[in-house]
Structure 1
Amino acid sequence: MKFLRMIKFDMLNIVRNPTLLFANTIFPFILIAMMGFVTKNNFGGNTVSSYDYYGVNMTIFSAMLITMTAANTFMEEKVKKGNIRMVYAPVSRASIYLSKLLSTYIFGTVCYCSVLFLGQTLFHLNLGGRYLPYLMLLIDALVLFGCCFGTMFCCIFKNEERANGIMQIPVAFFVFFGGVFFGIHRLGEMINSISIFSPVYWVSECAFRLIYDHDFSIFLPVTLCLLLASIVCTAVCHIAFKPEEYVC
Protein backbone atom coordinates (compact mmCIF):
# COMPACT_ATOMS: atom_id res chain seq x y z
CA MET A 1 0.00 0.00 0.00
CA LYS A 2 2.86 2.39 0.82
CA PHE A 3 4.46 1.56 -2.50
CA LEU A 4 1.23 2.38 -4.38
CA ARG A 5 1.02 5.71 -2.57
CA MET A 6 4.59 6.44 -3.62
CA ILE A 7 3.74 5.70 -7.26
CA LYS A 8 0.67 7.95 -7.00
CA PHE A 9 2.79 10.73 -5.49
CA ASP A 10 5.34 10.47 -8.30
CA MET A 11 2.61 10.34 -10.96
CA LEU A 12 1.12 13.57 -9.63
CA ASN A 13 4.55 15.22 -9.76
CA ILE A 14 4.88 14.28 -13.43
CA VAL A 15 1.37 15.37 -14.40
CA ARG A 16 1.83 18.71 -12.65
CA ASN A 17 4.90 19.44 -14.77
CA PRO A 18 3.67 21.18 -17.97
CA THR A 19 7.01 20.64 -19.72
CA LEU A 20 6.83 16.87 -19.29
CA LEU A 21 3.20 16.81 -20.39
CA PHE A 22 4.00 18.83 -23.51
CA ALA A 23 7.09 16.77 -24.39
CA ASN A 24 5.22 13.47 -24.22
CA THR A 25 1.89 14.46 -25.82
CA ILE A 26 1.97 17.53 -28.09
CA PHE A 27 5.65 17.45 -29.09
CA PRO A 28 5.42 14.16 -31.06
CA PHE A 29 2.61 15.60 -33.21
CA ILE A 30 4.64 18.76 -33.87
CA LEU A 31 7.57 16.63 -35.01
CA ILE A 32 5.35 14.50 -37.25
CA ALA A 33 3.74 17.56 -38.85
CA MET A 34 7.05 19.36 -39.34
CA MET A 35 9.03 16.42 -40.73
CA GLY A 36 6.10 15.23 -42.83
CA PHE A 37 5.62 18.66 -44.41
CA VAL A 38 9.33 19.28 -45.07
CA THR A 39 9.91 15.91 -46.74
CA LYS A 40 6.56 15.35 -48.49
CA ASN A 41 8.04 15.97 -51.95
CA ASN A 42 10.64 13.25 -51.39
CA PHE A 43 7.97 10.56 -51.14
CA GLY A 44 6.10 11.40 -54.35
CA GLY A 45 3.29 8.98 -55.11
CA ASN A 46 4.60 6.17 -52.91
CA THR A 47 2.18 4.13 -50.84
CA VAL A 48 4.06 5.39 -47.77
CA SER A 49 3.50 9.11 -47.33
CA SER A 50 5.96 11.34 -45.49
CA TYR A 51 3.42 11.73 -42.69
CA ASP A 52 3.00 7.96 -42.36
CA TYR A 53 6.76 7.45 -42.31
CA TYR A 54 7.49 10.12 -39.73
CA GLY A 55 4.34 9.26 -37.80
CA VAL A 56 6.08 6.02 -36.88
CA ASN A 57 9.64 7.32 -36.56
CA MET A 58 8.89 10.50 -34.62
CA THR A 59 6.78 8.53 -32.16
CA ILE A 60 9.71 6.15 -31.66
CA PHE A 61 12.10 9.09 -31.30
CA SER A 62 9.87 10.81 -28.73
CA ALA A 63 9.37 7.54 -26.83
CA MET A 64 13.15 7.13 -26.57
CA LEU A 65 13.34 10.59 -24.99
CA ILE A 66 11.32 9.26 -22.04
CA THR A 67 14.79 8.77 -20.54
CA MET A 68 14.84 12.49 -19.70
CA THR A 69 11.38 12.31 -18.16
CA ALA A 70 12.62 9.47 -15.95
CA ALA A 71 15.64 11.52 -14.89
CA ASN A 72 13.43 14.51 -14.10
CA THR A 73 11.01 12.34 -12.11
CA PHE A 74 13.88 10.91 -10.09
CA MET A 75 16.20 13.84 -9.48
CA GLU A 76 14.69 17.17 -10.55
CA GLU A 77 15.64 19.54 -7.72
CA LYS A 78 12.11 20.47 -6.59
CA VAL A 79 10.92 16.86 -6.73
CA LYS A 80 14.06 15.62 -5.00
CA LYS A 81 13.55 17.91 -2.03
CA GLY A 82 9.99 16.72 -1.60
CA ASN A 83 11.02 13.08 -1.88
CA ILE A 84 13.70 13.18 0.80
CA ARG A 85 11.18 12.04 3.40
CA MET A 86 10.81 8.77 1.47
CA VAL A 87 14.45 8.02 2.22
CA TYR A 88 13.75 8.17 5.95
CA ALA A 89 10.42 6.37 5.72
CA PRO A 90 10.18 2.65 6.65
CA VAL A 91 10.29 1.47 3.02
CA SER A 92 12.80 -0.61 1.12
CA ARG A 93 15.43 1.26 -0.90
CA ALA A 94 14.27 -0.59 -4.03
CA SER A 95 10.79 0.89 -3.68
CA ILE A 96 12.24 4.41 -3.90
CA TYR A 97 13.73 4.07 -7.37
CA LEU A 98 11.08 1.59 -8.55
CA SER A 99 8.28 4.04 -7.75
CA LYS A 100 9.98 6.66 -9.97
CA LEU A 101 10.57 4.12 -12.72
CA LEU A 102 7.06 2.66 -12.71
CA SER A 103 5.28 6.02 -12.45
CA THR A 104 7.23 7.26 -15.46
CA TYR A 105 6.45 4.06 -17.34
CA ILE A 106 2.71 4.32 -16.63
CA PHE A 107 2.75 7.97 -17.68
CA GLY A 108 4.71 7.20 -20.86
CA THR A 109 2.49 4.25 -21.76
CA VAL A 110 -0.67 6.33 -21.50
CA CYS A 111 0.89 9.20 -23.47
CA TYR A 112 2.32 7.18 -26.37
CA CYS A 113 -0.63 4.82 -26.71
CA SER A 114 -2.78 7.97 -26.94
CA VAL A 115 -0.42 9.47 -29.54
CA LEU A 116 -0.65 6.32 -31.67
CA PHE A 117 -4.41 6.01 -31.28
CA LEU A 118 -5.07 9.66 -32.13
CA GLY A 119 -2.54 9.55 -34.97
CA GLN A 120 -4.45 6.73 -36.63
CA THR A 121 -8.04 7.71 -35.84
CA LEU A 122 -7.92 11.51 -35.84
CA PHE A 123 -5.06 12.29 -38.23
CA HIS A 124 -5.49 9.19 -40.44
CA LEU A 125 -1.87 8.07 -40.28
CA ASN A 126 -1.17 4.51 -41.33
CA LEU A 127 -0.10 2.98 -38.04
CA GLY A 128 -1.12 -0.57 -38.75
CA GLY A 129 -4.91 -0.45 -38.80
CA ARG A 130 -6.11 -3.51 -36.91
CA TYR A 131 -2.48 -4.26 -36.03
CA LEU A 132 -2.22 -1.03 -34.02
CA PRO A 133 -2.32 -2.87 -30.64
CA TYR A 134 0.89 -4.70 -31.58
CA LEU A 135 2.58 -1.41 -32.43
CA MET A 136 1.44 -0.08 -29.06
CA LEU A 137 2.99 -3.08 -27.31
CA LEU A 138 6.24 -2.51 -29.17
CA ILE A 139 6.35 1.18 -28.22
CA ASP A 140 5.46 0.29 -24.62
CA ALA A 141 8.47 -2.03 -24.50
CA LEU A 142 10.66 0.82 -25.77
CA VAL A 143 9.18 3.18 -23.17
CA LEU A 144 9.96 0.66 -20.42
CA PHE A 145 13.54 0.39 -21.63
CA GLY A 146 13.84 4.19 -21.76
CA CYS A 147 12.50 4.53 -18.20
CA CYS A 148 14.90 1.89 -16.87
CA PHE A 149 17.79 3.39 -18.83
CA GLY A 150 17.15 6.93 -17.52
CA THR A 151 16.68 5.73 -13.94
CA MET A 152 19.91 3.72 -14.15
CA PHE A 153 21.91 6.82 -15.11
CA CYS A 154 20.40 8.72 -12.18
CA CYS A 155 21.34 5.93 -9.78
CA ILE A 156 24.90 5.88 -11.12
CA PHE A 157 25.60 9.61 -11.36
CA LYS A 158 23.43 10.84 -8.42
CA ASN A 159 22.59 14.14 -10.17
CA GLU A 160 20.01 15.01 -12.82
CA GLU A 161 22.20 17.39 -14.83
CA ARG A 162 25.18 15.03 -14.83
CA ALA A 163 22.98 12.02 -15.62
CA ASN A 164 21.22 13.82 -18.49
CA GLY A 165 24.48 15.18 -19.89
CA ILE A 166 26.16 11.77 -20.05
CA MET A 167 22.99 9.90 -20.98
CA GLN A 168 22.56 12.04 -24.10
CA ILE A 169 25.61 10.34 -25.65
CA PRO A 170 24.16 6.79 -25.85
CA VAL A 171 20.66 8.15 -26.57
CA ALA A 172 22.05 10.19 -29.49
CA PHE A 173 23.82 7.03 -30.69
CA PHE A 174 20.58 5.04 -30.52
CA VAL A 175 18.61 7.73 -32.36
CA PHE A 176 21.20 8.50 -35.06
CA PHE A 177 21.95 4.88 -35.89
CA GLY A 178 18.27 4.05 -35.52
CA GLY A 179 17.64 6.03 -38.71
CA VAL A 180 14.53 7.82 -37.46
CA PHE A 181 15.33 11.02 -39.37
CA PHE A 182 16.76 9.48 -42.54
CA GLY A 183 17.72 6.06 -43.85
CA ILE A 184 21.03 5.14 -42.26
CA HIS A 185 21.80 2.77 -45.16
CA ARG A 186 22.68 5.83 -47.27
CA LEU A 187 25.88 6.34 -45.26
CA GLY A 188 27.56 3.14 -46.35
CA GLU A 189 27.89 -0.48 -45.31
CA MET A 190 30.06 0.17 -42.23
CA ILE A 191 27.65 2.70 -40.72
CA ASN A 192 24.74 0.46 -41.60
CA SER A 193 26.37 -2.46 -39.76
CA ILE A 194 26.77 -0.33 -36.61
CA SER A 195 23.03 0.34 -36.59
CA ILE A 196 22.33 -3.21 -35.42
CA PHE A 197 23.47 -2.12 -31.93
CA SER A 198 20.72 0.50 -31.72
CA PRO A 199 17.43 -0.62 -30.12
CA VAL A 200 15.74 2.25 -31.97
CA TYR A 201 16.77 0.69 -35.29
CA TRP A 202 15.16 -2.63 -34.40
CA VAL A 203 11.98 -1.01 -33.07
CA SER A 204 11.67 1.03 -36.27
CA GLU A 205 12.39 -2.01 -38.46
CA CYS A 206 9.87 -4.10 -36.55
CA ALA A 207 7.23 -1.35 -36.68
CA PHE A 208 7.40 -0.97 -40.47
CA ARG A 209 7.33 -4.74 -40.97
CA LEU A 210 4.21 -4.94 -38.81
CA ILE A 211 2.44 -2.07 -40.56
CA TYR A 212 3.22 -2.72 -44.21
CA ASP A 213 4.05 -6.43 -44.43
CA HIS A 214 2.13 -7.77 -41.41
CA ASP A 215 5.41 -9.53 -40.66
CA PHE A 216 5.74 -10.61 -37.01
CA SER A 217 9.03 -12.47 -37.45
CA ILE A 218 11.07 -10.06 -35.30
CA PHE A 219 8.28 -8.73 -33.08
CA LEU A 220 8.84 -11.19 -30.23
CA PRO A 221 12.69 -11.11 -30.35
CA VAL A 222 12.76 -7.28 -30.36
CA THR A 223 10.24 -7.05 -27.52
CA LEU A 224 12.06 -9.67 -25.43
CA CYS A 225 15.42 -7.96 -25.99
CA LEU A 226 13.96 -4.67 -24.79
CA LEU A 227 12.55 -6.39 -21.72
CA LEU A 228 15.88 -8.10 -21.04
CA ALA A 229 17.72 -4.78 -21.40
CA SER A 230 15.20 -3.22 -19.00
CA ILE A 231 15.87 -5.95 -16.42
CA VAL A 232 19.63 -5.39 -16.73
CA CYS A 233 19.22 -1.64 -16.23
CA THR A 234 16.99 -2.25 -13.20
CA ALA A 235 19.59 -4.61 -11.73
CA VAL A 236 22.23 -1.90 -12.11
CA CYS A 237 19.84 0.53 -10.38
CA HIS A 238 19.56 -1.84 -7.43
CA ILE A 239 23.33 -2.14 -7.15
CA ALA A 240 24.13 1.55 -7.64
CA PHE A 241 21.31 3.26 -5.72
CA LYS A 242 22.24 4.44 -2.23
CA PRO A 243 19.52 6.38 -0.36
CA GLU A 244 22.05 8.43 1.60
CA GLU A 245 23.55 9.71 -1.69
CA TYR A 246 20.06 10.62 -2.89
CA VAL A 247 19.76 12.98 0.06
CA CYS A 248 23.09 14.70 -0.56
Structure 2
Amino acid sequence: MYELRKMVELDLLNLIKNPMWVAYATLFPILLVMTLSFLGGSGHVMRPVDYFGITMMLFSALLSSSFSANAFMEERIKLPNMRLIMLPVPVYFIPLSKIVATFIFSVLFYSLDGLVLYGVFQVNFGGPYWPAVWLLLIAVDLFSIVLGILFCTIFKTETTANQVTSLMVQTLALLSGCFFPIYVLGDKLGAVSQYSPVTMVINTLFEVIYDGNFYHYYSALLVILSLSLVGGMLSLRLFKGDDYL
Protein backbone atom coordinates (compact mmCIF):
# COMPACT_ATOMS: atom_id res chain seq x y z
CA MET A 1 0.00 0.00 0.00
CA TYR A 2 3.00 2.28 0.42
CA GLU A 3 3.52 2.28 -3.36
CA LEU A 4 -0.14 3.14 -3.97
CA ARG A 5 0.00 5.98 -1.47
CA LYS A 6 3.08 7.47 -3.12
CA MET A 7 1.41 7.19 -6.53
CA VAL A 8 -1.69 8.97 -5.22
CA GLU A 9 0.48 11.75 -3.76
CA LEU A 10 2.26 12.20 -7.09
CA ASP A 11 -0.99 12.23 -9.09
CA LEU A 12 -2.56 14.70 -6.67
CA LEU A 13 0.48 16.96 -6.92
CA ASN A 14 0.31 16.85 -10.73
CA LEU A 15 -3.32 17.97 -10.63
CA ILE A 16 -2.67 20.77 -8.15
CA LYS A 17 0.31 22.00 -10.20
CA ASN A 18 -1.94 22.40 -13.25
CA PRO A 19 -3.23 26.00 -12.99
CA MET A 20 -5.93 25.43 -15.60
CA TRP A 21 -7.55 22.62 -13.61
CA VAL A 22 -7.27 24.54 -10.33
CA ALA A 23 -8.94 27.57 -11.90
CA TYR A 24 -11.56 25.35 -13.52
CA ALA A 25 -12.35 23.66 -10.20
CA THR A 26 -12.53 26.89 -8.19
CA LEU A 27 -13.79 29.66 -10.47
CA PHE A 28 -15.95 27.85 -13.00
CA PRO A 29 -18.77 26.71 -10.66
CA ILE A 30 -18.99 30.08 -8.93
CA LEU A 31 -19.02 32.04 -12.20
CA LEU A 32 -21.73 29.74 -13.56
CA VAL A 33 -23.89 30.28 -10.49
CA MET A 34 -23.41 34.06 -10.59
CA THR A 35 -24.14 34.33 -14.32
CA LEU A 36 -27.18 32.07 -14.45
CA SER A 37 -28.62 33.53 -11.24
CA PHE A 38 -28.37 37.02 -12.71
CA LEU A 39 -30.05 35.93 -15.93
CA GLY A 40 -32.70 34.01 -14.00
CA GLY A 41 -34.13 37.12 -12.37
CA SER A 42 -36.01 36.63 -9.10
CA GLY A 43 -38.10 33.72 -7.93
CA HIS A 44 -41.01 33.56 -5.50
CA VAL A 45 -40.66 29.99 -4.24
CA MET A 46 -36.94 29.48 -4.80
CA ARG A 47 -34.26 32.07 -5.43
CA PRO A 48 -32.33 31.55 -8.70
CA VAL A 49 -29.08 31.52 -6.73
CA ASP A 50 -30.41 28.61 -4.67
CA TYR A 51 -31.53 26.68 -7.74
CA PHE A 52 -28.36 27.20 -9.73
CA GLY A 53 -26.17 26.85 -6.64
CA ILE A 54 -27.29 23.22 -6.44
CA THR A 55 -27.57 22.39 -10.13
CA MET A 56 -24.25 23.97 -11.09
CA MET A 57 -22.42 22.18 -8.29
CA LEU A 58 -23.97 18.99 -9.65
CA PHE A 59 -22.97 19.92 -13.19
CA SER A 60 -19.42 20.67 -12.04
CA ALA A 61 -19.26 17.31 -10.27
CA LEU A 62 -20.31 15.62 -13.52
CA LEU A 63 -17.51 17.42 -15.35
CA SER A 64 -14.92 15.88 -13.02
CA SER A 65 -14.52 13.18 -15.65
CA SER A 66 -12.26 15.66 -17.46
CA PHE A 67 -9.97 15.85 -14.43
CA SER A 68 -9.60 12.08 -14.20
CA ALA A 69 -9.07 11.64 -17.95
CA ASN A 70 -6.39 14.31 -17.86
CA ALA A 71 -4.70 12.75 -14.83
CA PHE A 72 -4.77 9.36 -16.54
CA MET A 73 -3.89 9.95 -20.18
CA GLU A 74 -2.30 13.40 -20.54
CA GLU A 75 0.97 13.09 -22.46
CA ARG A 76 3.17 14.50 -19.70
CA ILE A 77 1.64 12.00 -17.26
CA LYS A 78 2.03 8.95 -19.47
CA LEU A 79 5.85 8.82 -19.35
CA PRO A 80 6.07 8.44 -15.54
CA ASN A 81 3.28 5.89 -15.70
CA MET A 82 5.21 3.89 -18.30
CA ARG A 83 8.06 3.65 -15.80
CA LEU A 84 5.62 2.46 -13.14
CA ILE A 85 4.61 -0.42 -15.39
CA MET A 86 8.13 -1.80 -15.10
CA LEU A 87 8.05 -1.76 -11.29
CA PRO A 88 6.95 -4.78 -9.22
CA VAL A 89 3.54 -3.29 -8.35
CA PRO A 90 0.09 -4.35 -9.58
CA VAL A 91 -0.69 -2.63 -12.85
CA TYR A 92 -4.17 -1.71 -11.62
CA PHE A 93 -2.52 0.65 -9.12
CA ILE A 94 -2.19 3.13 -12.01
CA PRO A 95 -5.92 3.71 -12.71
CA LEU A 96 -6.77 3.29 -9.02
CA SER A 97 -4.36 6.02 -7.99
CA LYS A 98 -5.87 8.36 -10.61
CA ILE A 99 -9.36 7.76 -9.24
CA VAL A 100 -8.30 8.40 -5.64
CA ALA A 101 -6.17 11.46 -6.43
CA THR A 102 -8.80 13.06 -8.65
CA PHE A 103 -11.48 12.41 -6.06
CA ILE A 104 -9.42 14.13 -3.34
CA PHE A 105 -8.63 17.03 -5.69
CA SER A 106 -12.21 17.63 -6.81
CA VAL A 107 -13.80 17.21 -3.37
CA LEU A 108 -11.28 19.63 -1.87
CA PHE A 109 -11.88 22.42 -4.37
CA TYR A 110 -15.62 21.86 -4.77
CA SER A 111 -15.98 22.02 -0.99
CA LEU A 112 -14.23 25.40 -1.09
CA ASP A 113 -16.68 26.48 -3.81
CA GLY A 114 -19.58 25.35 -1.63
CA LEU A 115 -18.27 27.39 1.30
CA VAL A 116 -18.00 30.48 -0.91
CA LEU A 117 -21.51 29.99 -2.32
CA TYR A 118 -22.91 29.56 1.16
CA GLY A 119 -20.91 32.31 2.85
CA VAL A 120 -21.09 34.98 0.14
CA PHE A 121 -24.33 34.20 -1.72
CA GLN A 122 -26.23 32.41 1.08
CA VAL A 123 -27.05 29.45 -1.19
CA ASN A 124 -29.43 27.09 0.58
CA PHE A 125 -27.69 23.73 0.93
CA GLY A 126 -30.37 22.31 3.18
CA GLY A 127 -29.58 23.78 6.59
CA PRO A 128 -29.27 20.84 9.00
CA TYR A 129 -29.47 18.46 6.04
CA TRP A 130 -26.38 19.84 4.29
CA PRO A 131 -24.19 16.77 5.05
CA ALA A 132 -26.67 14.55 3.17
CA VAL A 133 -26.80 17.01 0.27
CA TRP A 134 -23.02 17.20 0.07
CA LEU A 135 -22.65 13.42 0.33
CA LEU A 136 -24.91 12.90 -2.68
CA LEU A 137 -22.98 15.51 -4.69
CA ILE A 138 -19.71 13.81 -3.72
CA ALA A 139 -21.13 10.46 -4.83
CA VAL A 140 -21.94 11.96 -8.25
CA ASP A 141 -18.42 13.37 -8.36
CA LEU A 142 -16.96 9.91 -7.71
CA PHE A 143 -19.13 8.36 -10.41
CA SER A 144 -18.03 10.98 -12.94
CA ILE A 145 -14.35 10.42 -12.09
CA VAL A 146 -14.73 6.67 -12.51
CA LEU A 147 -16.54 7.22 -15.81
CA GLY A 148 -13.65 9.31 -17.12
CA ILE A 149 -11.15 6.58 -16.20
CA LEU A 150 -13.36 3.85 -17.66
CA PHE A 151 -13.67 5.64 -20.99
CA CYS A 152 -9.91 6.15 -21.07
CA THR A 153 -9.40 2.40 -20.69
CA ILE A 154 -11.94 1.78 -23.47
CA PHE A 155 -10.88 4.43 -26.00
CA LYS A 156 -7.16 4.55 -25.03
CA THR A 157 -6.89 8.34 -25.51
CA GLU A 158 -7.71 11.33 -23.32
CA THR A 159 -9.17 13.28 -26.25
CA THR A 160 -11.74 10.68 -27.24
CA ALA A 161 -12.65 9.92 -23.62
CA ASN A 162 -13.21 13.63 -22.93
CA GLN A 163 -15.27 14.09 -26.08
CA VAL A 164 -17.59 11.21 -25.24
CA THR A 165 -18.01 12.06 -21.56
CA SER A 166 -18.49 15.78 -22.30
CA LEU A 167 -21.22 15.01 -24.83
CA MET A 168 -22.96 12.69 -22.38
CA VAL A 169 -22.70 15.08 -19.44
CA GLN A 170 -23.84 18.15 -21.34
CA THR A 171 -26.77 16.33 -22.95
CA LEU A 172 -27.93 14.88 -19.63
CA ALA A 173 -27.49 18.22 -17.86
CA LEU A 174 -29.42 20.06 -20.57
CA LEU A 175 -32.31 17.60 -20.55
CA SER A 176 -32.40 17.23 -16.77
CA GLY A 177 -32.97 20.81 -15.70
CA CYS A 178 -29.48 21.88 -14.68
CA PHE A 179 -29.68 25.11 -16.67
CA PHE A 180 -33.44 25.76 -16.43
CA PRO A 181 -36.47 24.13 -14.79
CA ILE A 182 -37.65 21.03 -16.61
CA TYR A 183 -41.18 22.32 -17.23
CA VAL A 184 -39.93 24.77 -19.88
CA LEU A 185 -39.06 21.79 -22.09
CA GLY A 186 -42.71 20.98 -22.63
CA ASP A 187 -44.68 17.95 -21.56
CA LYS A 188 -43.07 15.39 -23.88
CA LEU A 189 -39.42 16.26 -23.23
CA GLY A 190 -40.25 16.82 -19.59
CA ALA A 191 -41.62 13.28 -19.37
CA VAL A 192 -38.53 11.86 -21.09
CA SER A 193 -36.22 13.78 -18.75
CA GLN A 194 -37.72 11.98 -15.76
CA TYR A 195 -35.82 8.86 -16.83
CA SER A 196 -32.49 10.68 -16.59
CA PRO A 197 -30.36 9.79 -13.56
CA VAL A 198 -29.36 13.46 -13.33
CA THR A 199 -33.04 14.43 -13.02
CA MET A 200 -33.38 11.86 -10.25
CA VAL A 201 -30.46 13.40 -8.37
CA ILE A 202 -31.72 16.97 -8.80
CA ASN A 203 -35.22 16.08 -7.61
CA THR A 204 -33.80 14.15 -4.67
CA LEU A 205 -31.56 17.04 -3.65
CA PHE A 206 -34.42 19.54 -3.65
CA GLU A 207 -36.68 17.12 -1.78
CA VAL A 208 -34.07 16.90 0.97
CA ILE A 209 -33.29 20.64 1.01
CA TYR A 210 -36.82 22.04 1.00
CA ASP A 211 -38.94 19.23 2.46
CA GLY A 212 -36.54 17.22 4.56
CA ASN A 213 -37.80 14.28 2.50
CA PHE A 214 -35.37 11.33 2.31
CA TYR A 215 -37.78 8.93 0.60
CA HIS A 216 -35.71 8.73 -2.62
CA TYR A 217 -32.38 9.75 -1.11
CA TYR A 218 -30.95 6.41 -0.04
CA SER A 219 -31.98 4.62 -3.23
CA ALA A 220 -30.39 7.40 -5.33
CA LEU A 221 -27.19 7.26 -3.27
CA LEU A 222 -27.09 3.46 -3.51
CA VAL A 223 -27.56 3.50 -7.30
CA ILE A 224 -24.78 6.05 -7.83
CA LEU A 225 -22.33 4.30 -5.52
CA SER A 226 -23.13 0.93 -7.11
CA LEU A 227 -22.48 2.33 -10.59
CA SER A 228 -19.22 3.83 -9.32
CA LEU A 229 -18.15 0.48 -7.90
CA VAL A 230 -18.99 -1.40 -11.09
CA GLY A 231 -17.31 1.23 -13.26
CA GLY A 232 -14.24 1.24 -11.05
CA MET A 233 -13.90 -2.54 -11.15
CA LEU A 234 -14.27 -2.55 -14.92
CA SER A 235 -11.62 0.16 -15.23
CA LEU A 236 -9.12 -1.78 -13.15
CA ARG A 237 -9.85 -4.97 -15.06
CA LEU A 238 -9.75 -3.46 -18.56
CA PHE A 239 -6.57 -1.44 -18.08
CA LYS A 240 -3.47 -2.94 -19.66
CA GLY A 241 0.04 -1.62 -19.29
CA ASP A 242 0.52 -1.44 -23.04
CA ASP A 243 -2.28 1.17 -23.20
CA TYR A 244 0.53 3.66 -22.60
CA LEU A 245 2.74 2.37 -25.41
Same fold (TM over 0.5): yes
Report the 3-state secondary structure (helix = DSSP H, G, I; strand = E; otherwise coil) of the residue aligned with 2:121: coil
* Structure 1 spans left out of the alignment, 5+ residues: none
Q: Is the 8 A contact 1:57 1:181 kept in 2?
A: yes
Report how far residue 232 of structure 1 moved. Answer: 1.7
The correspondence of residues 133-152 of structure 1 with structure 2, limited to 5 A, is 133-152=131-150
The correspondence of residues 23-102 of structure 1 with structure 2, limited to 5 A, is 23-41=24-42, 43=43, 46-102=44-100
101-110 vs 119-128, which deviates more? 119-128
- Normalization by structure 1: what TM-score? 0.93
Report how far residue 83 of structure 1 moved. Answer: 2.2
- Aligned identity (percent) is 34
Choose the corresponding residue for 1:113, options 87, 111, 114: 111
2:209 match: 211
| 2:126 partner amino acid | G
1:200 match: 198
* Structure 2 spans left out of the alignment, 5+ residues: none
1:9 match: 10
| 1:73 partner amino acid | A
Q: Is the 8 A contact 1:177 1:195 kept in 2?
A: yes
Give the whole-Å Cα distance in 2 for the aligned partners of 1:70 and 1:62: 13
| 1:33 partner amino acid | M
Report the 3-state secondary structure (helix = DSSP H, G, I; strand = E; otherwise coil) of the residue aligned with 1:244: helix
Report the 3-state secondary structure (helix = DSSP H, G, I; strand = E; otherwise coil) of the residue aligned with 1:122: helix
- Normalization by structure 2: what TM-score? 0.94
Give the whole-Å Cα distance in 1 for the aligned partners of 2:120 and 2:28: 16
Report the 3-state secondary structure (helix = DSSP H, G, I; strand = E; otherwise coil) of the residue aligned with 2:199: helix
1:136-194 CA distance string (max 9 Å, x none): 10111001100111100001111101111222232223212221001223323432233
Report the 3-state secondary structure (helix = DSSP H, G, I; strand = E; otherwise coil) of the residue aligned with 1:126: coil
Pick 1 or 2: higher relative contact order, CA cutoff 8 A, min separation 6. Answer: 2
1:19 match: 20
CA RMSD of aligned residues (A): 1.4
